[in-house]
């Protein structure tokens, strides 16, 4: 988590300082802190002019209008789209692609896009599409459908990966939330925390916090 935080922090500091910075895609396992990391940027850099505007997937069709409203403002804006992914039939990715690729309808200098997703490639991929892939003189040439889906994610200059927590990581987060509630970790609570994670099929920060809340009510 520290390396992910450092990468996002460096990029954001460049941005609020007026230097070129990358759009960011934070992708990976659910409940690993992707959204929390982005939301923590606002209190950290608000006094430097940073503003965070959350844009739902359904609102991306209005992205050109949003950019038109904020492009001449003195603040620095991060447009944040949480849990972003598209089905093949959804049109919202097209204005996002246009903004990311630096076309005439691209992003103004005072705007970046940060997005979180469980998918590394934001559009769904199908096995049948791989049949379009060809080999020419030893080089791989992807089919148009596959190329389109990879292309969208590649428009984000910075990819930050989040992987499932180890058992030790999960228990450390449980202990953190216990301390917030004035409790201490012991062997009995440790076993209960592991059982809680097993029942939910996930060891994540969200699951750790839910366990600590439940334990506090017992």
Query: Domains of the chain: which residue ranges?
Result: 2-162, 167-217
pLDDT in tens, 102-133: 544 568 999 999 988 876 665 544 444 344 44
Q: Is the pLDDT of residue 190 over 60?
A: yes
Residues paired with 160 in a beta bridge: 26
- Helix residue spans in 71-140 (DSSP H): 93-100
Q: Is the pLDDT of residue 65 over 70?
A: yes
Over residues 131-144, mean pLDDT: 44
C-alpha 97, offset from chain centre: 16
Q: Which of 46, 159, 184 is nearest to 100 (CA)?
A: 159
Q: Does domain 2-162 have CATH number 3.40.50.300?
A: yes
Q: What is the pTM of this model?
A: 0.73
Q: Residue 118, exposed/middle/buried by CB under 10 A (0-12, 13-18, 19+)?
A: middle
Structure-block tokens of residue 208: 């750790």
pLDDT of residue 27: 87
């Amino acid at each position: 988590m520290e390396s992910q935080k450092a990468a996002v922090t460096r990029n954001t500091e460049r941005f609020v300082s007026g230097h070129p910075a990358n759009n960011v895609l934070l992708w990976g396992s659910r409940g690993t802190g992707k959204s929390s990391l982005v939301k923590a940027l606002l209190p950290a850099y608000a006094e430097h002019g940073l503003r965070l505007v959350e844009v739902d997937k359904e609102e991306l069709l209005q992205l050109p209008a949003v950019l038109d409203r904020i492009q001449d403002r003195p603040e620095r804006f991060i447009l944040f789209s949480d849990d972003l992914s598209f089905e093949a039939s959804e049109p919202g990715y097209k204005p996002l692609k246009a903004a990311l690729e630096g076309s005439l309808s691209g992003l103004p200098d005072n705007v970046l896009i940060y997005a979180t997703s469980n998918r590394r490639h934001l559009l769904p991929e199908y096995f049948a599409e791989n049949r379009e892939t060809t080999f020419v003189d030893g080089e791989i040439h992807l089919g148009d459908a596959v190329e389109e889906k990879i292309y969208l994610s590649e428009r984000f200059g910075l990819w930050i990966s989040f992987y499932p927590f180890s058992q030790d990581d999960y228990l450390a987060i449980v202990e953190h939330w216990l301390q917030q509630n004035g409790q201490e970790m012991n062997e009995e609570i440790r076993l209960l925390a592991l059982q809680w994670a097993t029942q939910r099929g996930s060891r994540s920060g969200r699951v750790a916090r839910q366990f600590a809340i439940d334990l506090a009510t017992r």
